[in-house]
């Protein structure tokens, strides 16, 4: 489960031409480029200005020519500038993506884990620099865990612990395909954070705690276990009650892949061979999301979360300030807060990528603006990310 980035990938349009759906409203009726919201009071000139018309047309083309399947939401304050929907949430049944569609978001939900942990620690009067070994019993932590690793390290990807889904190609444990992890381990058994412990227990550390930023899914698995230990509840229940519900995310949750729920976007891979069927990701990700990712959300709910976090309503002013402090530099113009990435323009957010899943979201407090891109196919961000960011930058 990785933070989503944009990188060139070949189009699959030539492999499997399918019926493309134009922008859809919440009932599945297609108003075409009219998805540029007329509800943005007093700023019609902005909505119908070149950047937004150009973005809407680009999304239409990407859907028609490149199998774009997903949604793009841009808001300013309470107003919606753009909410575009394209493609199919369920290819077998021909169900289109709609505004109420709930997408898997992979690592984007690390933000929810971090927020829940900060909330629980605050209530328990536990400092973020408390050692993990002092919070978790030996049976609930890796044998190779450095005793110096603390919660701050886990939240900022600076723990140096080994990762069960290592994303650094230069390291021996590199995992090129997240789905390969489940080729000899039944993904349907991965329902609780502790179910991941056998994958973590003997991993060799990659650096000393606090030495450097190193993206680590395993660290957020441990945060999920820690959240259960501190609160006494189950991870999904605790995140729902402490974060999703208070933020108003009434349509989102940690839904099991084997549960029949409405408005769920199935993640898809393109056909394995010319003329073949699209394939779902039900055997390629854990059956229930956990500390390192896997929640299902609507685009609107992501917007609500980012606003609740940024305003301080979710965590309170003191903990919010700590969460949005740049604790470690990732690269030029990018820092790590507590479970969120912070950019030089003052925006914060996260991204995610799993087999058949792509997501990215960003909130810019100075403009009270949010952008959310969710997709149930791979390569969607490559097709639209730059254009969305370009338009977002004009707000």
228-249 pLDDT per residue, tens = 999 999 999 999 999 999 999 9
Rounded to an integer, what distance in angstroms lies between the CA atom of residue 206 and that of residue 376? 32
Q: Pick one of 1.10.287.110, 2.40.160.210, 1.10.287.470, 3.40.710.10 as the CATH number of 103-269+276-294+309-383.
A: 3.40.710.10
Given a cut of 90, whether residue 212 has pLDDT beyond it is: yes
Size (the chain), residues: 395
Rounded to an integer, what distance in angstroms lies between the CA atom of residue 150 and that of residue 147? 8
Rounded to an integer, what distance in angstroms lies between the CA atom of residue 295 and that of residue 171? 28
From 15-29, 68-82, 159-173, 348-362, the region with the lowest mean pLDDT: 15-29
Given a cut of 70, whether residue 317 has pLDDT beyond it is: yes
Quote the DSSP letter at residue 332. Answer: T
- Give CA angle at 322 (319, 328), nearest 5°: 155
Q: pLDDT at position 272, please?
A: 86
Spatial neighbors of 254 by CB under 8 A, at least 6 apart, are 235, 236, 239, 240, 288, 289, 290, 294, 295, 296
Percent of the chain surpassing pLDDT 90: 75
Rounded to an integer, what distance in angstroms lies between the CA atom of residue 345 and that of residue 280? 37
- Give CA angle at 270 (267, 276), nearest 5°: 120
Question: What would the two tokens of residue 179 be?
Answer: 């789905």
CA distances from 1 to 153, 212, 292 (A): 19, 20, 7
Phi-psi region of 32 (alpha: psi -120 to 50; beta: other; left: phi over 0): left
pLDDT (mean) for 358-369: 96
Strand partners, 70: 86, 375
> What band does 181 get if pLDDT is binned at 50, 70 and 90?
confident
Q: pLDDT at position 48, please?
A: 64
Instruction: Determine how β-strand 88-90 pairs with β-strand 279-280.
Output: unpaired
Which stretch of DSSP H or E encloses residue 90?
strand 88-90
Rounded to an integer, what distance in angstroms lies between the CA atom of residue 360 and that of residue 340? 12
Strand partners, 343: 334
Which stretch of DSSP H or E encloses residue 83?
strand 79-86
Q: pLDDT at position 15, please?
A: 21
pLDDT (mean) for 101-112: 97
Alpha helices (H) in the chain, listed in sequence order = 44-47, 50-66, 110-124, 151-155, 197-200, 217-231, 235-239, 299-311, 317-323, 380-392
Given a cut of 90, whether residue 8 has pLDDT beyond it is: no
pLDDT (mean) for 45-56: 77
Higher-pLDDT residue of 333, 177: 333
Spatial neighbors of 148 by CB under 8 A, at least 6 apart, are 131, 208, 209, 210
Q: pLDDT at position 275, please?
A: 86
> What band does 251 get if pLDDT is binned at 50, 70 and 90?
very high
Tell me the pLDDT of the chain averaged across its residues.
87
pLDDT (mean) for 181-203: 92
Rounded to an integer, what distance in angstroms lies between the CA atom of residue 219 and that of residue 149? 10
Percent of the chain surpassing pLDDT 70: 88
Higher-pLDDT residue of 31, 62: 62
Longest dimension (CA), the chain: 61
Structural Rg of the chain based on CA atoms: 20
Higher-pLDDT residue of 275, 29: 275
């Amino acid at each position: 489960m990785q933070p989503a980035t944009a990188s060139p990938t070949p189009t699959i349009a030539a492999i499997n031409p399918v019926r493309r759906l134009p922008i859809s409203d919440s009932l599945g009726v297609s108003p075409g480029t009219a998805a540029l919201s007329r509800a943005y009071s007093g700023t019609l000139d902005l909505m119908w200005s070149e950047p937004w018309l150009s973005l809407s047309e680009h999304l239409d083309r990407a859907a028609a020519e490149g199998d774009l399947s997903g949604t793009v939401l841009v808001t300013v304050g309470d107003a919606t500038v753009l909410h575009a929907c394209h493609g199919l949430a369920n290819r077998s049944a021909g169900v289109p993506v709609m505004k109420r569609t709930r997408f898997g978001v992979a690592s984007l939900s690390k933000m929810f884990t971090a927020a829940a942990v900060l909330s629980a620690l605050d209530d328990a009067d536990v400092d973020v620099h408390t050692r993990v070994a002092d919070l978790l019993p030996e049976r609930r932590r890796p044998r190779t865990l450095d005793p110096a690793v603390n919660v701050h390290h886990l939240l900022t990807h600076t723990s140096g612990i080994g990762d069960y889904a290592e994303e650094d190609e230069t390291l021996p444990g590199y995992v090129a395909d997240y789905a390969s992890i489940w080729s000899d381990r039944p993904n349907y058994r991965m329902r609780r954070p502790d179910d991941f412990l056998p994958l973590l227990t003997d991993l060799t550390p990659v650096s000393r705690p606090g030495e450097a930023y190193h993206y680590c899914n395993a660290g957020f698995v441990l945060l999920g276990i820690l959240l259960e230990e501190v609160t006494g509840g189950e991870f999904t229940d605790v995140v729902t009650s402490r974060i999703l519900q208070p933020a108003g995310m009434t349509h989102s949750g940690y839904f099991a892949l084997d549960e029949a729920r409405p408005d769920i976007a199935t993640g898809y891979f393109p056909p394995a061979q010319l003329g073949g069927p699209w394939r779902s990701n039900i055997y390629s990700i854990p059956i229930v999301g956990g500390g390192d990712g896997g929640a299902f959300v609507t685009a609107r709910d992501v917007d609500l979360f980012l606003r609740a976090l940024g305003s301080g309503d979710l965590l309170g002013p003191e903990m919010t300030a700590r969460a949005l402090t740049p604790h470690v530099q990732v690269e030029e113009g990018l820092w790590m807060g507590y479970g969120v990435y912070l950019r030089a323009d003052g925006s914060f957010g996260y991204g995610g990528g799993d087999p058949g899943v792509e997501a990215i979201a960003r909130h810019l407090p100075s403009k009270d603006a949010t952008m959310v891109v969710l997709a149930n196919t791979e390569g969607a961000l490559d097709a639209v990310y730059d254009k969305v960011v370009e338009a977002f930058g004009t707000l």
